[in-house]
């Protein structure tokens, strides 16, 4: 293909304003190659067209995409435009009356705290943001070094600022980076939600009409001191209570997955009184290349292989893994003697298993203190937490997917989502926090060890008290995003009468909104139970971050002894999993 005149003009204008010599040179080389002859010219032209085919969209996850030159990539031009637009939004918000007519925030000068992780250009994007915010009249504070996302989320509340930005792509591929936005004041430090994302995007579009070289910059911003980090450490360590004192502590292996979790997690564990975990040496230091993992997500196959090897070598009792920005937590335990394993003697707990036992722990804590609080989970997470809430006579809330919704539940005491995100101390932070969740797991494991039990036995005790809950997930990756609504429309038009041999009882269609939820492309199938199991469900929805259709499968049983319940729930999930794969085929 040949490069269109319009795309060439956009690319040349972009290169002219790009302050980054690497991405500017990258784009100029492509432009030069595109005017030559042969296959290289066609490939370069196609590459440029893809880079300028629209803009990387600002939404409820902020910005996230592959690093590189162009309006559909993450780079200094795009970040400068985002910073300028967000600054304008904050300034307008501080001077305009609220929607209800109140002016409680009017007149308050807007302020922001900015954090960054160890990915390529995270520090550069953060400094660009601080300089542009400061010049625009927003009081800006930059975190002192690469730190976990939970520290930034904590800082928004702790410093009582108007907003926060965290430069991170969390557990995305190594070539990605992102720009996550939080709001203070009435949003209490949670991530942005609709319709605010659209309002910010509109300001960003306006900022993008000019050259970023014309944006004023200032170095009149503050650098936060380590006392901020120390406050996070102290308050997070308090989650453990007295669990570390006089207990039988597990021998723990920890991996930071080449991210920024180790420095802060290490300090938190020590402050809580836990023995220092044994780090996976190859993954302990931040490295934007993520050289030992194909995909830096502890949920992905192979991501924990080095952790398994280290834990086996040192005869550990427990593996704790944070993702690269430490807002997620993975846990692995030794396989039981009766479990078969052909590779490693370790089993990674699912996000639903961790959420269930941490939710149980939170309910016990509320009960012991005579307090109150709501347990919450996203609608695609296991129904197990609802069962815990019912047993303790506590309120429970389902939310839309995404932790920004979980964190906003009124009276929240504990919340989680199945994708390894947990919030155990919402008074401190309003986002998932893999470090405080790790502390809670360590405290639980220590207490269980002191009583002669283990996390594996505790999971079986959960089955006995609340019922056995099993889950699975099927993902269908697509090359064309239009394929996803085609599939869901077909399922909506002709719903299956059965899935995996289990009759469909009813369908909840969220297309026009359902109960308290707004409209969304979500289908929830409820299946008929039998004498062996109480029920099951299948939820179909598009991924919010990847070109995937995701299907969540859950089944549960309270019939028979714990072992029978587990077998029944697992069997139904296996049948539904096979049925879903056949249905999507």
For residue 536, the surrounding DSSP H or E stretch is strand 535-542
Query: What are the residue ranges of helices labelled H in 118-195?
Result: 122-136, 149-158
Please answer whether residues 234 and 226 qualify as being in contact, where contact means their C-beta atoms are separated by less than 8 angstroms.
Answer: no
Residue 96 token pair: 């305009």
The conformational region for residue 484 under phi > 0 = left, psi -120 to 50 = alpha, else beta, is: alpha
Q: From the CB of residue 413, how many other CB atoms can be counted at a distance below 10 Å?
A: 24
Query: For residues 310 and 76, what is the distance between their CA atoms, to the nearest angstrom?
Result: 39
Long-range Cβ contacts of 246-250 (<8 Å, 24+ apart): 246/450, 247/446, 247/447, 247/449, 247/450, 248/446, 248/449, 248/450, 249/274, 249/275, 249/442, 249/445, 249/446, 249/449, 250/316, 250/317, 250/318, 250/442, 250/445, 250/446, 250/449
Q: Comparing C-alpha atoms, which of 243, 254, 59, 217 is closest to residue 129?
A: 217
- According to DSSP, the residues that pair with 321 across neighbouring strands are 255, 330
Bridge partners of 553, per DSSP, are: 472, 538
Active-site residue 92, yes or no?
A: no
Provide the b/e sequence for 521-542 (b: ≥16 CB within 10 Å): bbbbbebebeeebbbbbbbbbb
**What is the distance between the alpha carbons of residues 325 and 429, in angstroms, rounded to a whole number?**
15
Angle, helix 384-391 to helix 455-466, in steps of 10 degrees: 70
Cα end-to-end span (Å), the chain? 34
| Cα angle value 148/152/157 (rounded, 5°) | 145
Give the separation between CA 289 and CA 173, rounded to whole angstroms: 9
Q: Of 255, 447, 455, whose CA–CA distance to 353 is shortest? A: 455
Q: Residues 170, 307, 350, 446: which is the catalytic one?
A: 170
The H or E element containing residue 473 is: strand 468-477
Q: List active site positions.
A: 170
């Amino acid at each position: 293909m040949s490069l269109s005149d319009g795309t060439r003009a956009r690319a040349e204008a972009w290169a002219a304003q790009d302050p980054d010599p690497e991405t500017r040179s990258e784009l100029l080389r492509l432009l030069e190659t595109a005017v030559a002859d042969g296959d290289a010219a066609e490939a370069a032209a196609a590459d440029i067209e893809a880079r300028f085919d629209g803009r990387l969209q600002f939404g409820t996850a902020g910005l996230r995409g592959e690093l590189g030159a162009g309006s559909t990539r993450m780079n200094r031009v795009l970040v400068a435009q985002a910073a300028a637009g967000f600054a304008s939004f904050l300034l307008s918000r501080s001077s305009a009356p609220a929607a209800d007519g109140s002016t409680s925030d009017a007149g308050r000068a807007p302020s922001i705290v900015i954090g960054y992780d160890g990915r390529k250009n995270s520090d550069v994007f953060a400094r660009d943001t601080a300089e542009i915010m400061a010049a625009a009249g927003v009081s800006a504070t930059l975190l002192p070094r690469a730190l976990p996302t939970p520290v930034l989320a904590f800082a928004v509340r702790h410093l009582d600022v108007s907003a926060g930005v965290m430069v991170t792509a969390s557990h995305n591929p190594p070539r990605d980076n992102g720009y996550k936005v939080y709001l203070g004041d009435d949003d209490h430090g949670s991530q942005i939600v609709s319709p605010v994302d659209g309002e910010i995007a509109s300001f960003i579009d306006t900022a993008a009409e000019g050259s970023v070289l014309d944006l004023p910059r200032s170095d009149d911003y503050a650098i936060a001191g380590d006392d901020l980090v120390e406050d996070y450490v102290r308050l997070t360590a308090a989650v453990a209570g007295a669990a570390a004192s006089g207990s039988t502590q597990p021998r723990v292996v920890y991996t930071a997955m080449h991210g920024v979790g180790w420095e802060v997690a290490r300090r938190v564990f020590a402050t809580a009184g836990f023995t220092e975990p044994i780090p996976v040496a190859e993954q302990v230091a931040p490295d934007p290349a993520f050289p030992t993992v194909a995909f830096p997500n502890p949920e992905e196959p192979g991501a924990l292989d080095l952790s398994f090897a280290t834990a086996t070598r040192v005869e550990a009792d427990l593996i704790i893994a944070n993702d690269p920005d430490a807002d997620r937590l993975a846990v692995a335990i030794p396989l039981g003697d009766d479990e078969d394993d052909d590779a490693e003697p370790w089993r990674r707990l699912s996000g639903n298993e961790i959420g269930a036992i941490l939710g149980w722990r939170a309910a016990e804590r509320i009960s012991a203190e005579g307090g109150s609080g709501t347990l919450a989970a996203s609608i695609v997470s296991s129904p197990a937490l609802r069962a815990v809430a019912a047993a303790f006579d506590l309120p429970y809330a389902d939310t839309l997917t995404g932790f920004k919704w979980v964190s906003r539940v009124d009276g929240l005491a504990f919340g989680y989502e199945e994708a390894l995100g947990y919030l155990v101390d919402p008074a401190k932070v309003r986002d998932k926090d893999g470090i405080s969740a790790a502390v809670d797991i360590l405290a639980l494991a220590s207490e269980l060890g002191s009583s002669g039990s283990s996390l594996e036995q505790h999971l079986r005790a959960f089955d006995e008290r609340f019922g056995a809950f099993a889950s699975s997930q099927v993902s269908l990756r697509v090359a064309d995003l239009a394929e996803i609504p085609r599939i869901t429309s077909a399922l909506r038009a002709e719903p299956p009468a059965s899935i995996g041999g289990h009759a469909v009882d009813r369908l909840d269609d969220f297309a026009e909104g359902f109960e308290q939820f707004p409209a969304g492309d979500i289908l929830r199938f409820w299946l008929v139970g039998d004498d062996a199991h109480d029920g099951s469900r299948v939820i179909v929805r598009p991924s919010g971050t990847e070109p995937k259709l995701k299907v969540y499968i859950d089944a549960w049983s309270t019939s028979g002894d714990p072992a029978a319940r587990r077998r029944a729930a697992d069997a139904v999930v296996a049948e539904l999993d096979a049925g879903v794969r056949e249905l999507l085929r």
